[in-house]
Structure 1
């Protein structure tokens, strides 16, 4: 198991796709998904309305001591009545042997699993121009998708601030009421305190750790997350999308009223990251969707 290091994703601007075309090794927001040569591209549909889903985020996330390239694609539906519900999201995990793509992408610098995308400026890949039409997102007020820069520099500072903020408390005749209020709001308080240290964060990555809940989670979260549908092993938390991402996304093929809204999206993946040699189909993972909307 790799060290549980919190990594933060930030929108890092648009770059010329003619010079730096994106690949499956690229971390990006919006645009079309980039599939490796070993995987057949997928166009998932909404479980609620059967409409094609739009591509939201692509994350390159290899695991320590693994012989595979590995990335996650998150798709969502923005149709009225679907946005804001669990069935309108799909997560696909893709893997391919590292040696398979070495000759076809020699210009790409591949980060190791131990320092995955830290210091993103050192080995960024660029975003592609967004093709008109199709099911995808673009960055608001822009003509392209955006590079997703991942950094891991503030975990200690965030943790200290969150827990220091919970010190103290009331007393007197309202002690019980205040204690109850603190109990109800503790998860939301921690969420807002952590986000306040880096309001522009749009993604948090920390595999095998715990997510930052926006509201009080179920008492037995691990039991609420189904096992992997491919190998039967438990799933583990890997990443979550943050509220700041909502304002960045805009559909390319719909009216402004069709918008994606969420408080946070929690992604859980197979603990073993199982993959059958020779397969060309992505593995569908699962997420626990928190429908709270931040105003």
Structure 2
């Protein structure tokens, strides 16, 4: 069962080199800003805000294939620029696109694919490839192939041939837009494991900002409890601390990111998000609208990203948020005949202390 899949390590996305004007990126590139790079065979109609009808602006593209899947996988996140819209979850769009790792013209096989439980790919040895233009590639490790019984073989062959016929000559149109759309200055995303960030936290400026925050709020961040990504371990017990705004969830957030305040993205598929404020009656998770499987947390955008989003050229654009939680189908449901992205879910939390991050 997919629900048994354990979350992997927490990966932190950091700002890397600026993508120069005229540079071409691959859909296998993780980046901030620019325009979405469409997966082969996909037609992506540029989305508009359902509230004001303005074209959305591309925030981030993450290449994130899953272990146990024969598909490449890319997620694009877009948002509305209007201040009255960008703080609302329904003014954000999350588009998941996939394509087969095996070329479509490959001779169909008479074997039945039996996937193992879906877990996040082992990115650790390849983590530094985030933000690089060359392909990461993808493997089918963890996918068990067992010959289908004779009674099933003919049906499987016929199905494979039918899918091949449907896809033969089907070329995706890529990104389709009816008008000029706004863009943020693009830059690559590099990645480190959260554990490694503790040994790379000699950032004088960031530590000065953290000390300033502690003086202003009257709290020692280092004394606040720290929870794990997958929520395991003993229940947390909070020590009494005099925090000016009294928000323990926010201070736990600050504790967790204190070793790497410049992180712009946190990735932990099927893990637990790092919340800025407690969830009330609302629920961030939802059900997949295609297969009705539950959606699971995959990654979140962090407050430090807000001040790094710059308009291209002389354009002045901004999107304000605290953190944006991205939830995707637990099964990552996809058909070989899909030619448009699958829409997933975004949940926006406002930042109770945004000015702390505005100086990065």
What is the TM-score with the length of structure 1 in the denominator?
0.77
- Choose which of 324, 329, 337 in structure 2 pairs with 1:265: 324
Matched with 1:38 is 41
State how far apart, in whole Å, the 1-side matches of 2:17 and 2:42 are. 28
State how far apart, in whole Å, the 1-side matches of 2:130 and 2:73 are. 20
Matched with 1:278 is 337
Q: For residues 146 and 95 of structure 1, do their structure 2 counterparts lie closer, same or farther at Cα, with a shift above 3 Å needed?
A: same
Are 1:194 and 2:235 an aligned pair? no
Q: For residues 218 and 102 of structure 1, do their structure 2 counterparts lie closer, same or farther at Cα, with a shift above 3 Å needed?
A: farther
Are 1:10 and 2:14 an aligned pair? yes
- Choose which of 275, 289, 306 in structure 2 pairs with 1:246: 306
Report the Cα offset of residue 291 of structure 1: 2.1
State how far apart, in whole Å, the 2-side matches of 1:27 and 1:199 are. 20
Q: For residues 100 and 182 of structure 1, do their structure 2 counterparts lie closer, same or farther at Cα, with a shift above 3 Å needed?
A: farther
Quick check: 2:271–2:297 contact (8 Å CA) kept in 1?
yes
Are 1:228 and 2:288 an aligned pair? yes
State how far apart, in whole Å, the 1-side matches of 2:314 and 2:90 are. 20
Bigger Rg, which one:
2
Structure 1 residues 154-191: Cα deviation after superposition (integer angstroms, max 9, x where no partner): 27959xx9785348845xxxxxxx69x69952210111
Are 1:151 and 2:211 an aligned pair? no
Give me the CA root mean square deviation.
Answer: 3.3
State how far apart, in whole Å, the 2-side matches of 1:102 and 1:190 are. 51
State how far apart, in whole Å, the 2-side matches of 1:123 and 1:147 are. 5
Q: How many residues align?
A: 262
Quick check: 1:238–1:267 contact (8 Å CA) kept in 2?
yes
Matched with 2:180 is 134
Are 1:120 and 2:128 an aligned pair? yes
Matched with 2:113 is none
Quick check: 2:7–2:271 contact (8 Å CA) kept in 1?
no
Q: For residues 56 and 102 of structure 1, do their structure 2 counterparts lie closer, same or farther at Cα, with a shift above 3 Å needed?
A: farther
Matched with 1:62 is 65
Quick check: 1:135–1:252 contact (8 Å CA) kept in 2?
no
- Choose which of 335, 343, 349 in structure 2 pairs with 1:290: 349
Quick check: 1:118–1:150 contact (8 Å CA) kept in 2?
no
Matched with 1:211 is 273
Gaps in structure 1 of 5+ consecutive residues:
104-111, 127-132, 140-144, 171-177
State how far apart, in whole Å, the 1-side matches of 2:130 and 2:347 are. 33
SS in 2 for 1:207: coil
Report the Cα offset of residue 59 of structure 1: 0.2
Q: For residues 121 and 63 of structure 1, do their structure 2 counterparts lie closer, same or farther at Cα, with a shift above 3 Å needed?
A: closer
Quick check: 2:197–2:259 contact (8 Å CA) kept in 1?
no
Are 1:87 and 2:90 an aligned pair? yes
State how far apart, in whole Å, the 2-side matches of 1:192 and 1:251 are. 28
Report the Cα offset of residue 278 of structure 1: 1.1
Report the Cα offset of residue 116 of structure 1: 6.3
State how far apart, in whole Å, the 2-side matches of 1:14 and 1:287 are. 26
Report the Cα offset of residue 199 of structure 1: 1.4
Quick check: 2:64–2:73 contact (8 Å CA) kept in 1?
yes
Quick check: 1:73–1:92 contact (8 Å CA) kept in 2?
yes
Structure 1 residues 262-287: Cα deviation after superposition (integer angstroms, max 9, x where no partner): 00000111010001221101000012
State how far apart, in whole Å, the 2-side matches of 1:287 and 1:152 are. 23
